Amino acid sequence: MRAKIILTVMVLLAIAACSGEKPQPLSLVTSAGVAPYYTNLAEARQAARTDQYVVVDFYTDW
Closest CA to 47 of 34, 56, 57, 59: 56
Minimal distance in Å, beta carbon 61 to another protein?
A: 7
CA distances from 54 to 15, 38, 50 (A): 34, 10, 11
Contacts with another protein by CB under 8 A: the residue count is: 28
Q: Which is nearer to another protein, 10 or 48 (CB)?
A: 48
Q: What is the DSSP letter of 42?
A: H
Minimal distance in Å, beta carbon 24 to another protein?
A: 15
**Interface positions with another protein (CB under 8 A):** 29, 33-41, 44-45, 47-62
